[in-house]
Amino acid sequence: MSEQTKYLLDESRIPKHWYNIQADLPKALPPVLHPGTMQPVGPDDLAPLFPMALIMQEVSTEREIEIPEPVREVFRLWRPSPLFRAHRLEKALGTPAKIFYKYEGVSPAGSHKPNTAIPQAFYNKEAGVKRLSTETGAGQWGSSLAFAGTLFGLDVTVFQVRVSYDQKPYRRALMETYGARCLPSPSTETAFGRSVLAKDPKHPGSLGIAISEAVEIAAQREDTKYALGSVLNHVLLHQTIVGQEAMEQMAMADAYPDVIVGCTGGGSNFAGIAFPFIGAGLRGGAKPRIVAVEPAACPSLTRGRYAYDFGDTGHMTPLAKMHTLGSVFTPPGFHAGGLRYHGMAPLVSHLKELGLIEATAYHQTECFAAGVTFARAEGIVPAPEANHAVKGAIEEALRCKREGKAETILFNLCGHGHFDMQAYMDYSAGKLTDQKYDESELAMALAGLPSVPEPA
Amino acid sequence: MSEQTKYLLDESRIPKHWYNIQADLPKALPPVLHPGTMQPVGPDDLAPLFPMALIMQEVSTEREIEIPEPVREVFRLWRPSPLFRAHRLEKALGTPAKIFYKYEGVSPAGSHKPNTAIPQAFYNKEAGVKRLSTETGAGQWGSSLAFAGTLFGLDVTVFQVRVSYDQKPYRRALMETYGARCLPSPSTETAFGRSVLAKDPKHPGSLGIAISEAVEIAAQREDTKYALGSVLNHVLLHQTIVGQEAMEQMAMADAYPDVIVGCTGGGSNFAGIAFPFIGAGLRGGAKPRIVAVEPAACPSLTRGRYAYDFGDTGHMTPLAKMHTLGSVFTPPGFHAGGLRYHGMAPLVSHLKELGLIEATAYHQTECFAAGVTFARAEGIVPAPEANHAVKGAIEEALRCKREGKAETILFNLCGHGHFDMQAYMDYSAGKLTDQKYDESELAMALAGLPSVPEPA
């Protein structure tokens, strides 16, 4: 009898609470500031954008926040997601390490994003909201919110970065199949979009611009709220279901990670797999090494400044203290669109400052090479974003091989690459390059960071 | 507490045997004939194309055939697949029926095809084969065999119908990511391909032509065998794991189907979900209605003739008695490429003749409409092939509504549509039409069926 490959939990064991790391932080998170007054925002300041239930989660310091039963009911469509032991990858690498991966590609949208799209749609529906507006890059988040919208009967409007809208029509088709409306951003629907188009009618768009457009629409209409797919505390909170399940599944495998690896764009996927384990360590349990992997072409954690900055290009959002490349920084157009954001989640940034996590950056061709190695060994073709975690995990496994250590490595495979085969075609044709950002542009973007009074 | 959504089996409960319906048939299957002598073929006649273990499965009448442990070991990557209760679809339809679906889209290739690709690769590897050749249309089968090839260390060459090769590059990219070689068919690699190109250098190809090319390559080389993704008895045998698991999962749900629906192209997906239930009925158990759903543009079961015919256009394969539209019939280019084959599996055809199954045909636009209804209710976007089963199941559920009957409906959702979003885009843009085949072409193809002596 061979060793087990896959660790499954019954749907009755979908967690009943999200884990809120704010309860266990040795030092509280710096407050978020109002873009007009530069003073800490209160719940009412955020009310035009979010329903109060989500605002309360944003600022909560309760350790456990209950997952509503209608949300768990939808999660049953794909949760609990499987945890795999990567026997074949271990063999291919010749490593003494044990590699485990949690797989979030089993969701209907193919990524971890529905974990927060579903509760966000639920709380908005409960609050009487009729329509959600949001932004998306490659479309993982937009398609997940479209999926959530159809299940809860909400209209969803998605501003998709124009270059992705034009070049990657398949996730847009997924959004439209779920009944959402998808617009290329910058668009003529918003004042901010029109102002960008006035300067450059062929502007390719960016996540920062699309966020400004989605926020503008939500702020103007009583029946419309805004939904964000990463960065914010409540979004990271919703993803902790991933790490909580993984903890139970690792126990089934009679194992505990020595190292946890996650890819980081805005930070929600990384938080999902890592926070429950970090929290257990903060409460006196084992302390695995926690490794955040980001793209070298958009390296907020490894090259950004820890400072107050806007979440969007139009400077409509509150300011948060985070690792940032500057809200006007435009990352090169690499394939992992989900990691292409100037800032890092305040909670992830805070943990980095506290020395509780490590960060490293890789270029996209080495990440695709890792993804192909993984696909040929384990069968699953990872999304370009997930390839960064695969690369990080393989590097740890090869270190274990060099050092002769049988460590246990856990990573989150946050989505499948079935919508991203053009990127694999470009990779195998040798057409992918390792874009570098412009150092002088980064310096300028950092020099332009807003100056805010340091709160007492 | 709400009703259960998902029925999961532990990986220890992956079936240990395939179910062979030939053991329970009230009348034996007509023999397969040699294309030269028109006499029944023996195992040795097939030895150039297949390893002996598969040939023995092809002709076996044992009820249970053991699944080798290394095959079950690979199956653990995604099997047992989930069975879902479609609560939301039932509600959307307002039907008293209970709808269950088995979901095969969780495999790494996104469809049911790896269920036979894995054992075929295993038996070939065991027999010392180095290379497999095969054909593929849209690419479900080719990508599944490529996946199996990388796991067992076999080189895989795939002849892909040229029109799909050119228009649908993403499954090709998947094959290449798994390390397979993919050629557009007709190709210049084979004598038959060259003969087709000599007549028409821009020939769009067909599955019948691609089969001829793959068979030619395999017949010529000692180290190379041929692999087929449907139609043959051993392929249908391998898919019965789907129905066996579904039977266990229905028992967990304390239910048994009154109606089973499957889409049919070559017949393997349909056989997989239906044969174990048909067999139970033949052995004295309950007899659910069994409904095969095929595309109206390629209606072998509902409009074809039950006669001996070749499996390929080049007439290199043996002749089998089956429902056929004629081996020179070219179906219109609709989107469900996996259902675009002139013949039907001999076993499925035989069951139709014995009155053990029903058959119906639908046009593609009504199938896509059903797929969008399903996606908006259940979250999963089905492959175009699977939409035929969805349409069939919805029609049964609506009949139950009209008749006020709370019947239990089971169907197999054989794959996800993430590689097929162009088809959904065309559908939502109103660009999909219901192609009709040419009646006079069908009449000519049927008139050209080979005349063979009826075996005693």
Q: Tokens 């002088």 belong to which residue?
A: A440
Cβ–Cβ gap A11/B4 under 8 Å = yes
- Which residue of chain A comes nearest to B425, CA vs CA? A173
Counting Cα atoms < 13 Å in the Cβ hemisphere of A43 gives 10
Cα B408 to Cα B91, B254, B357, B401, distances in angstroms: 15, 11, 17, 12
Option in A69, A108, A380 nearest B379 (CB)? A108
Q: Can you give the length of chain B in residues?
A: 456
Q: Is the pLDDT of residue A454 over 80?
A: no
Choose among B84, B372, B419: nearest Cβ to A418.
B419
A415, A303 in Cβ contact below 8 A?
A: no
Whether residue A404 is predicted with pLDDT greater than 50 in this model: the reply is yes
Q: Minimal CA–CA distance to A423: which of A384, A367, A376?
A: A384
- Decide if A151 and B379 are in contact by the 8 Å CB cutoff: yes
Hey, are the CB atoms on B424 and A176 less than 8 Å from each other? yes
Interface check B16 vs A, CB under 8 A: no
SS3 state of residue A265: coil
Please provide the distance, in angstroms rounded to a whole number, between the alpha carbons at the two ends of chain B: 62
Task: Please give the average per-residue pLDDT across B257-280, as a whole number.
Answer: 97
Chain B interface, best mutation among A77, A111, A143, by max B CB count within 10 A = A77
Give the residue-averaged pLDDT of B189-201: 96
Q: What is the pLDDT of residue A206?
A: 86
pLDDT of residue A208: 87
Q: Give the angle subtended at the CA of A221 by the CAs of A219 and A224, to the nearest 5°.
A: 85
Nearest to B176 among A178, A418, A428 (CB): A428
- The whole-angstrom distance between B71's CA and the closest CA on chain A is 12
User: What is this structure's pTM?
Assistant: 0.95
Residue B288 contacts residue B281 (beta carbons within 8 Å): yes
Which chain A residues are closer than 8 Å to B14 by Cβ? none
Report chain A residues whose CB lies below 8 A from the CB of B8.
8, 10-11
Q: Which DSSP letter does residue B31 get?
A: P
B104 Cβ contact partners less than 8 Å away, ≥ 6 residues apart: B81, B111, B112, B115, B242, B269, B412, B413, B414, B415
Backbone angles phi, psi at A396, to 5 degrees: -65, -40
**Structural tokens at position B51:** 């390893």
- The residue that leads in pLDDT, A36 or A24, is A24
For residues A455 and B136, which has the higher predicted lDDT (pLDDT)?
B136
Torsion of CA B112, B116, B121, B123, to 10 degrees: 160
Confidence bin at A2 (pLDDT 50/70/90): low
What is the chain A residue with the closest CA to B420? A170
Closest Cα to residue B82, out of A8, A373, A426?
A: A8
pLDDT class of B1 with cuts at 50, 70, 90: very low
Contact B76 A150 (CB under 8 A): no
* CB of A152 less than 8 A from some CB of B: no
For residue A147 the two structure tokens come to 């999926």
Closest residue to B178, CB basis, from A73, A84, A376:
A376
Q: In the prediction, which pLDDT does A333 show?
A: 78
Whole-angstrom distance, CA of residue A34 vs CA of residue A308: 11
Partner-chain contact B174 A418, CB within 8 Å: yes
Tell me if chain A has a CB within 8 Å of the CB of B256. Answer: no
Do the Cβ atoms of A229 and A268 come closer than 8 Å? Answer: yes
How much is the pLDDT for A440?
92
The answer to whether residue B453 scores a pLDDT higher than 90 is no
Measured between CB atoms, does B177 come within 8 Å of chain A?
yes
- Provide the β-strand partners of residue A33: A40, A319
**Identity of the residue in B4, B150, B376 whose CB atom sits nearest the CB atom of A376:** B150
The complex's ipTM works out to 0.94
Find out whether the peptide bond into B80 is cis, omega within 30 degrees of 0: yes
Sequence-separated (6 or more) residues with CB below 8 Å from residue B36 = none
Cα dihedral angle (B126, B127, B130, B136), rounded to 10 degrees? Answer: -90
pLDDT score for B299 = 94
CA distance B148 to B180: 10
Tens digits of residue pLDDT in B41-94: 999 999 999 999 999 999 999 999 999 999 999 999 999 999 999 999 999 999
Residues of A in contact with B380 (CB under 8 A): 77, 108
pLDDT digits 0-9 by tens, A309-352: 999 888 989 999 999 999 988 888 788 888 888 999 999 999 99
What's the pLDDT at B116?
98
- For residue B273, pLDDT over 90 is answered with yes
CA atoms of A215 and B253, how far apart (whole Å): 45
Please name the residues between 331 and 370 in chain A that touch chain B, using a CB distance below 8 Å. Answer: none
The answer to whether A8 contacts chain B (CB < 8 Å) is yes
Confidence label for B242 from pLDDT (cuts 50, 70 and 90): very high
Of B292-301, B373-382, B431-440, minimum mean pLDDT range: B431-440
Residue A8: list chain B partners with CB under 8 A.
Answer: 8, 10-11
Cβ partners under 8 Å of residue A440, min gap 6: none
Chain A, chain B: beta-carbon pairs less than 8 Å apart: 129
Element (H or E) spanning B297, and its range? none
Higher pLDDT, B62 or A204: B62
Q: Distance between CA A19 and CA A244 in Å, rounded?
A: 8
pLDDT of residue A1: 43
In this predicted structure, what is the pLDDT of residue A340?
85
Report the distance separating Cα B20 and Cα B161, nearest Å.
31
Which of B 101-130 lie inside 8 A of A, CB atoms?
106, 108-110
Q: What would the two tokens of residue B218 be?
A: 């395999």
Place of tokens 């049988």: A406
pLDDT at residue B325, rounded to an integer: 95
Q: Are strands A64-66 and A17-19 parallel, antiparallel or unpaired?
A: antiparallel
pLDDT the model gives residue B3: 80
Cα radius of gyration rounded to whole Å, chain B: 20
Closest CA–CA distance from residue B200 to any residue of chain A (Å): 29
Q: How far apart are CA A74 and CA B358, in angstroms?
A: 35
Comparing CB atoms, the residue among A8, A76, A173 nearest residue B425 is A173
CA distances for B163 relative to B6, B205, B210, B390, angstroms:
38, 7, 12, 26
Calculate what percentage of chain B has a pLDDT beyond 90: 88
Task: Identify whether the C-beta of residue A347 lies closer than 8 Å to the C-beta of residue A268.
Answer: no
Looking at the complex, report in whole angstroms how far the Cα of residue B180 sits from the nearest Cα belonging to chain A: 11
Model confidence band, residue B367 (pLDDT cutoffs 50, 70, 90): very high
- In angstroms, how far is the first alpha carbon of chain A from the final one? 62
Distance of CA A190 to the CA centre of its chain: 26
- The pair of three-digit structure tokens given for residue A341, joined into one six-digit string: 């954001």
Q: What is the pLDDT of residues B96-105, one digit of tens each?
A: 999 999 999 9
Q: What is the pLDDT of residues A77-108, one digit of tens each?
A: 999 999 999 999 999 999 999 999 999 999 99
d(CA B88, CA B82): 17
| Nearest-angstrom CA–CA distance, A140 and A152 | 19
- Given a cut of 80, whether residue A217 has pLDDT beyond it is yes
Give the length of chain A.
Answer: 456
Confidence of residue A135 (pLDDT cuts 50, 70, 90): very high
State how far the Cα of B378 lies from the Cα of B88, in Å rounded to an integer: 6
Q: What is the pLDDT of residues A442-453, one digit of tens each?
A: 999 999 999 887
**Cβ contacts of A1 within 8 Å, gap of 6 or more:** none
Query: A181 near A156, Cβ under 8 Å?
Result: yes
- The alpha-helical segments, DSSP class H, found in A94-184 are 114-126, 140-152, 162-167, 169-177
Chain A hits for B378, CB-CB cut-off 8 Å, are: 77, 108
* Tokens 């490429």 -> residue: B337
Q: How far is B244 from chain A (nearest CA, A)?
A: 20
pLDDT tens digits, A48-74: 999 999 999 999 999 999 999 999 999
B 400-429 residues inside an 8 A Cβ radius of A: 416, 418-419, 421-422, 424-425, 428
Which tokens hold the place of B174?
């998947």
